[in-house]
């Protein structure tokens, strides 16, 4: 079939042709695969942020979770620091790969104090020498994310959304990971808190050199934090480019429409620009259109798009686009 994929040592995380299908029951004995992620490849350098955008239900979260092997992938390979991530090796890699969750309410156990929530990864990996050491480490983490030391003995329900998200981030940082998946980590927060948390993410990256996979549906947020951005549509990657390049020169029609939907703070500018409004609904991932998944809503769709799925091709300077249109 295809040639064997060899990991590149300059990348921290490499996903190659990652596939995740979920069986959906259609009857008592029949099931159909739901192709949540269908052949996604990307790589992230140490200390870099890759933004992952796309509308709801396009498989962004599944990408993040499959990457951390919370799901058993249907196909493809993930490499972390040159090592293949599989059922055997993941145990040793958990320490280096962490996750921040979207919902700050359900991601913290209501029965545990902040100290125990942040300390859990430390407990699991036995990363302390004494109780005092554990406490010192937890307090240091809390300070790092801007929480007061006296919050340590409180329960999660005593905090606001932003503070809860900080607790979740402190937990993710506890094992001193090199890579964190931020799964819509700021989507549940209001705008002013979003800014605080995003700035904190950036500061932490500068201080600790962590790499992020920053999943969001808000292009502005992703543009702010990411060096590179990947756009997903229906389980596939349609465009990957440098953050600024993508912003100024979007090639894929889906990216163009996404960018045109970003709200402008200046009403004058907002009036002038043209909005590309997509027609129709997202096709069901259970019943994907033939060829390019976007063709049902694309203005430029041709017969070629109907026949074959466009591959991701380099349009210069690492700007990868999956579209038949030149």
Structure tokens at 42: 């990307």
- Check if the beta carbon of residue 1 is closer than 8 Å to that of residue 200: no
How many angstroms separate the CA atoms of 89 and 83, rounded? 8
- Check if the beta carbon of residue 74 is closer than 8 Å to that of residue 21: yes
Please give the size of the binding site for another protein, defined by CB under 8 A: 36
Binder of another protein out of 45, 155, 193, 256 (CB under 8 A): 155
Q: Which is nearer to another protein, 217 or 315 (CB)?
A: 217
Site for another protein in 78-137 (CB under 8 A): 91, 94-95, 97-99, 101-103, 105-113, 117, 120-121, 124-125
Task: Give the nearest distance from C-beta 176 to another protein in angstroms.
Answer: 13
How many angstroms separate the CA atoms of 74 and 123, rounded? 32
Q: Which is nearer to another protein, 91 or 316 (CB)?
A: 91
Would you count residue 176 as binding another protein (CB under 8 A)? no
Structure tokens at 96: 């280096």
Rg (CA), the chain: 21
Site for another protein in 258-317 (CB under 8 A): none
Binder of another protein out of 9, 10, 31, 153 (CB under 8 A): 153
Q: Which is nearer to another protein, 175 or 187 (CB)?
A: 175
Quick one: 12 exposed, middle or buried, by C-beta within 10 A (0-12, 13-18, 19+)?
buried
Q: Which is nearer to another protein, 93 or 312 (CB)?
A: 93
- Give the residue from 138, 262, 174, 179 showing the smallest Cα distance to 12: 179
What DSSP designation does 36 have? E
Q: Which is nearer to another protein, 104 or 310 (CB)?
A: 104
Binder of another protein out of 136, 158, 190, 314 (CB under 8 A): 158
Q: Which stretch binds another protein (CB under 8 A): 38-46, 47-55, 62-70, 318-326?
A: 62-70
How many angstroms separate the CA atoms of 69 and 129, rounded? 29
CA 204 distance to own-chain centroid: 17
Residues that bind another protein (CB under 8 A): 65, 68, 70, 91, 94-95, 97-99, 101-103, 105-113, 117, 120-121, 124-125, 150, 153-155, 157-158, 168, 171, 174-175
């Amino acid at each position: 079939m295809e040639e064997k994929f060899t990991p590149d040592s300059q990348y921290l995380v490499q996903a190659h042709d990652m596939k995740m299908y979920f069986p959906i029951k259609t009857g008592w004995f029949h099931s159909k695969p739901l192709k949540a992620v269908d052949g996604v490849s990307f790589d992230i350098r140490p200390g870099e942020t890759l933004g992952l955008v796309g509308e709801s239900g396009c498989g962004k979260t599944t990408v993040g979770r499959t990457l951390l092997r919370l799901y058993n992938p249907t196909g493809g390979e993930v490499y972390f620091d040159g090592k293949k991530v599989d059922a055997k090796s993941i145990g040793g890699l958990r320490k280096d790969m962490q996750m921040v969750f979207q919902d700050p309410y359900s991601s913290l156990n209501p029965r545990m104090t902040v100290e125990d929530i942040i300390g859990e990864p430390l407990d699991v990996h036995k990363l302390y020498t004494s109780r005092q050491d554990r406490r010192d480490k937890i307090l240091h983490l809390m300070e790092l994310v801007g929480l007061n030391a006296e919050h340590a003995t409180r329960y999660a329900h005593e905090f606001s959304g932003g503070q809860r998200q900080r607790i979740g981030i402190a937990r993710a940082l506890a094992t001193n990971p090199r890579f964190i998946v931020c799964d819509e980590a700021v989507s549940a927060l209001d705008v002013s808190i979003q800014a605080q948390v995003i700035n904190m993410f950036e500061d932490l990256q500068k201080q600790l050199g962590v790499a992020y996979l920053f999943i969001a549906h808000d292009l502005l947020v992703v543009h702010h934090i990411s060096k590179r951005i990947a756009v997903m549509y229906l389980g596939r990657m349609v465009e990957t480019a440098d953050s600024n390049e993508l912003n100024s020169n979007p090639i894929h029609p889906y990216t163009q429409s996404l960018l045109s939907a970003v709200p402008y703070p200046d009403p004058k500018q907002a009036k002038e620009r043209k909005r590309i409004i997509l027609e129709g609904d997202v096709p069901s991932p259970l019943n994907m259109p033939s060829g390019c998944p976007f063709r049902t809503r694309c203005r430029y769709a041709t017969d070629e798009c109907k026949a074959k799925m466009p591959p991701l091709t380099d349009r210069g300077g690492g700007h990868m686009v999956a579209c038949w249109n030149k």
